[in-house]
Amino acid sequence: MSLGTISTRFDPNFISQSGMLSNAQSPLLLPEIAQHIGSFAGDRERRDLAYTCKQLFSSVAPVIWKEIPDIKIVIQLIPGVKLVEVPYGDEGSGEGGITPMAMIPDDSLSTEDWTRYWFYAPFVQHLNLFAFCNDDYWIEGSRFLFTKLNRRPLLPNLRRLSFFGMQGHSRFDRLVWFASCLSPTLQRLRLIDIPEGPEEEDMVRPAWLLLSTLAKHFDASIPDVPSDIVDWDPSKSMPALLFPGDYQGGLFLFDNLPAPTSLRYLYIRLPQLWQTTIYILGCLPLLEELEMGFYDCRDEVAPTPNSNEILLPPDSFPSLRRLRLHSMPSTVRCHELWAIKPMFSGLLLLSLDIHMIDYGTDSGRSTFNPPQLIYHNCPKLESLSLHIGYKTQPLELMLDLLSIIPLKALCLYLGTGYNLEVEDPATCSWRIFPHLRHLSLSKILGVPELKLLPKIAKACPNLEWLHIQSTDPFGLREQPMDTGCVDHTAYQSIEIETDMPGDYPPYMEEILQEYWNTSCCNMSSFLKAIWPNASFLPLSDEEFD
């Protein structure tokens, strides 16, 4: 008998009678599903159902559990644990509206069978640890839970982890959560853990725990590296002094952690640039993309101790192709970083935030000259994005870069709050740059500077995509630009994207949207005079990549 001969009448009482509704937060195991379905079928029908359901379940379950939006779903799988809100003060909430939650165990935590958990946990590959929080919750009381793990990762096949949203958690709880989620199978890791105050600006942090774990794994590959920065060992005195009670109970969590040596993408924020950190990350054999941010810029002048004595092996960063550096703190740090040549030699994409750096063309360490440094250190570079400061001459910088580096994509972005004056194009050296395909100019050109676009069209005859975010997005709302200045027409097919900055108060959105629509219409007639075959993309906030 085929499945088609089974009664197709839907019984509305089936869900409630079978108990599936009451188990909405406790997913059924295969034997439970089979019991429910089998109770409604005869002998021959059961055989057909058993074969079909086995195939269906084995295919669907991994897809459903592959990506988990937050840790609460994982916690709900664990027997003997429930989440409850914890009263905080008179209003039952923490500072700034934060609602603390606690994981409350009962006796079944240690006695109940964890088969259900270990059946589903291996399916989880992507986890945003506290994405649900939005800084409104924290979950405490996690330490007792992981005694059951016995040094096993919470999610043994985790591929992608976003570790952020930890505001309100104690420092020790942050370490525990990170240690528990650290899996040797990790391929993508976003680690954002910014100190909440000066008292936290030490090395007892998840970032240093990660670096220490990697350093121990690659110990034989890292000769003569100073150990005072990353030799973070749970047997050392610092964590024991900071957490005398918690430390003893959680010691095993930090002992022999699995090193995520298969990382292909890493985003990490550090207080400052330590070359030893670069040394350790350079040992990751599969790391293709690295993003680093710096949240402490107090060491702006003094060079890093022994910075000239640390040289990376030539085979460091063997797979690195994309590098993004956010908030570079000083010119001195930039020069120290660029001295680490293996970090840049294989790059195809580079993104630099140098808006606090003094740009200059001299060869000294007091200024930063991106074209020359990139030319000498990034021979394979195809795509470059620069977040520049108001002291930079953007047109000169663009032409210098394109003159010596055969870039396929270039983005120049000026930070909010600056009033940039673009230099006179007559003083610049214009050439033909046939290699450039994508160009993004964000907050670089005001309405008067849009007259530069015919020159750009002539200099970049193979341009396929142009993005413009004007410094005066509503400047053309009164009338179209005069096309009399268009002295060059480019006939290639090109996609043009213009967008409006989004940092305006909500009460102005409606009128500004009207202004913007008018400005876009007036600007498009000017752009069409330069590129007759242009097509205009919908508004987008996508990051230049």
**183 pLDDT band (50/70/90 cuts)?**
very high
Q: What is the pLDDT of residue 405?
A: 94
Percent of the chain with pLDDT over 70: 62
Tokens of 101: 């939650």
Judged against a pLDDT cut of 80, whether residue 201 lies above it is answered with: no
**Are the CB atoms for 141 and 83 separated by under 8 Å?**
no
Query: Mean pLDDT, to the nearest integer, of 380-389?
Result: 91
Q: What is the pLDDT of residue 445?
A: 79
Q: What is the pLDDT of residue 433?
A: 95
**Are the CB atoms for 476 and 519 separated by under 8 Å?**
yes
Judged against a pLDDT cut of 90, whether residue 366 lies above it is answered with: no
Q: Which of 18-27, 296-305, 351-360, 428-437 has the highest mean pLDDT?
A: 428-437
What is the CB neighbour count within 10 angstroms for residue 400?
19
Which has the minimum average pLDDT: 136-140, 393-397, 437-441?
Answer: 136-140
**234 pLDDT band (50/70/90 cuts)?**
very low
Judged against a pLDDT cut of 70, whether residue 477 lies above it is answered with: yes
| Buried b / exposed e along 437-466 (16+ C-beta atoms within 10 A) | bbbbbbbbbbbebbbbbbbbbebbeebeeb
Mean pLDDT of the chain: 74
- Give the C-alpha separation, 15 to 17, whole Å: 6
| Buried b / exposed e along 279-300 (16+ C-beta atoms within 10 A) | bbbbbbeebbbbbbbbbeeebe
Q: What is the pLDDT of residue 49?
A: 59
Q: What is the pLDDT of residue 87?
A: 63
pLDDT single digits (tens) 285-303: 999 999 998 765 444 444 4
Q: What is the pTM of this model?
A: 0.79
Judged against a pLDDT cut of 90, whether residue 187 lies above it is answered with: yes
What is the radius of gyration, based on Cα positions, of the chain? 29
What is the CB neighbour count within 10 angstroms for residue 338?
17
534 SS3 class? strand
pLDDT single digits (tens) 309-334: 457 788 899 999 999 998 777 777 77
Residue 458 phi/psi, 5-degree rounding, is -70, -40
Of 43 and 4, which is predicted with more confidence?
43
Q: Which of 125-139, 262-276, 290-304 has the highest mean pLDDT?
A: 262-276
**Are the CB atoms for 544 and 385 separated by under 8 Å?**
yes
Query: Mean pLDDT, to the nearest integer, of 374-381?
Result: 92
pLDDT single digits (tens) 152-164: 788 999 999 998 7
- Give the C-alpha separation, 175 to 207, whole Å: 9
Q: What is the pLDDT of residue 491?
A: 92
Residue with tokens 């010691």: 251
Q: What is the pLDDT of residue 421?
A: 58
- Give the C-alpha separation, 235 to 254, whole Å: 9
